[in-house]
Amino acid sequence: MCMKALASVVTAWLLMSTIDVKAQEDLTKMLEENEPKTTDYTTATFKGTRIINGHSVETVKKNHLDFIIHHRFDRLNSGAYNLFGLDYSTIRLGFEYGLTDNITIGFGRSSVQKTFDFLAKAKLLRQSTGTRNIPFSVTAFASSVIETLDKDLTTQDKTSYCTQLLIARKFSERLSLQLNPTFLYRNRVATAAQERALFALGFGGRMKLNKRLSLNAEYYWAFREKDLENALGDPYGNSLAIGVDIETGGHVFQLHFTNSSGMVEKQFIGDTSGSWGKGDIRWGFNVSRTFSFDKRAKGMMK
């Protein structure tokens, strides 16, 4: 009798707790029905504002400043005497600021050709799901570049322009791919055989290996005449870069191999003469650090 009573109490208790769960599930359903419909924007298509040499669709967030250091060493095939390129290096220092979440302006200075560059980026479309369903992101990019190495040239002759449409889709948490139609215009070209205008199509992508590490690759196919040579007699080539992104809290480190020495569009798309096949490969890295100037962040820094 006692056992039976106990059993029935247990049964009743079990039933009651099932009803509790059921009740809470019904409540959850009611909450979900009332959930305001929102647009879920895709974030972190790429870890940084660069895939490797070229820009990604990412912009710097509002009131944030991104300080980026690019470094490229000399060619691996320059031999043991030059420590496989490590004896010489080129550098670009860049500052990029987010005017809004969608508009970035910036400037930089490269040691290659003693170059100053000014850039602007604007997000035109953002990949999203929910109330607004857009399958990819589009960012417009424009830059003007002034190469000041040759003092005898006029400012106009030193200047080049680049515009790009950056079109990217984050296919999954791991895979993002980007397509970059590019138009480059040089006021002055290195040799008479060259056209001032140059069209190119860039391809880039990243594959996340784990939460903090991704494998990146980038290729710019420049539509120039065949066998075009630069002033030194080296044939121009397309820029190819392969590397990894490592993210460590506040910094993004990008380590890579590339056949380009320039770190701005005009140079790595327009002036690359190194060939992967011959071993004209340079080791390089980008380090970026972002600072928030959001008012709410004030007082949070110690």
Partner 1 sequence: MKTIVLIFSVSFASLGYLKAQNLYSTSNGETSFFSETPVENIAAVNKFGQAILNTSTNDIVVQMNMKQFDFPNKLMQEHFNENYIESAKYPKAVFKGKINEKIDFTKNGTYDISATGDFNLHGVSKPRTFKGKITIAQGSIGLTTDFEVALTEHNIEVPKVVFMKIAQTIQVKNKYSLAPYVSKK
Question: Is 225 a residue that touches partner 1 (CB under 8 A)?
Answer: no
3-state class of 156 per DSSP? helix
Q: Give the integer Cα–Cα distance in Å for 41 and 61.
A: 14
Query: How large is the C-alpha radius of gyration of the chain?
Result: 26
DSSP 235: B
Beta carbon of residue 106, minimum distance to partner 1 (angstroms, whole number) = 17
CA distances 257 to 12, 175, 211, Å, are 69, 20, 22
Containing 270, the helix (H) or strand (E) segment is: helix 265-270
Q: Which of residues 187 and 292 has its CB atom nearest to partner 1 in the complex?
A: 292
Pick one of 118, 212, 223, 235: the residue that binds partner 1 (CB under 8 A). 212
How many of the other CB atoms lie within 10 Å of CB of 195?
A: 14
The yes or no reply on residue 2 touching partner 1 (CB under 8 A) is: no
For residue 62, give Cα distances in angstroms to 15, 47, 92, 102: 54, 17, 23, 8
Torsion angles phi and psi, residue 281, rounded to 5: -105, 135
Q: Which of 141, 139, 132, 211 is nearest to 169 (CA)?
A: 139
Is there binding between residue 302 and partner 1 (CB under 8 A)? yes
At closest approach, how far in Å is the CB of 1 from partner 1? 8
64 touches partner 1 by CB under 8 A: yes
* Pairing label, strands 197-210, 175-186: antiparallel
Q: Is position 157 an interface residue for partner 1 (rule: CB under 8 A)?
A: no
Region near partner 1 per CB under 8 A, out of 82-90, 178-186, 243-251, 275-283: 243-251
Report the alpha-carbon angle 195-196-200, nearest 5: 80
What is the footprint of partner 1 within residues 5-34 (CB under 8 A)? 5, 7-9, 11-13, 15-16, 19-25, 27-28, 30-31, 33-34
Number of residues that bind partner 1 (CB under 8 A): 49
Build a one-symbol-per-residue string for 159-178: x at contacts with partner 1 by CB under 8 A, - elsewhere: --------------x-----
Q: Are 70 and 94 in contact (CB under 8 A)?
A: yes
Nearer to partner 1 (CB atom), residue 16 or residue 149: 16
Provide the minimum distance between the beta carbon of 87 and partner 1 in the complex, in angstroms, as a whole number: 30
Least separation, in Å, of the C-beta of 64 and partner 1? 6
Least distance in angstroms from the C-beta of 94 to partner 1: 17
- Cβ proximity to partner 1, 156 vs 248, nearer residue: 248
Residues within the interface to partner 1 (CB under 8 A): 1, 4-5, 7-9, 11-13, 15-16, 19-25, 27-28, 30-31, 33-36, 40, 43-44, 61-62, 64, 173, 211-212, 247-251, 290, 292, 294-297, 300-302
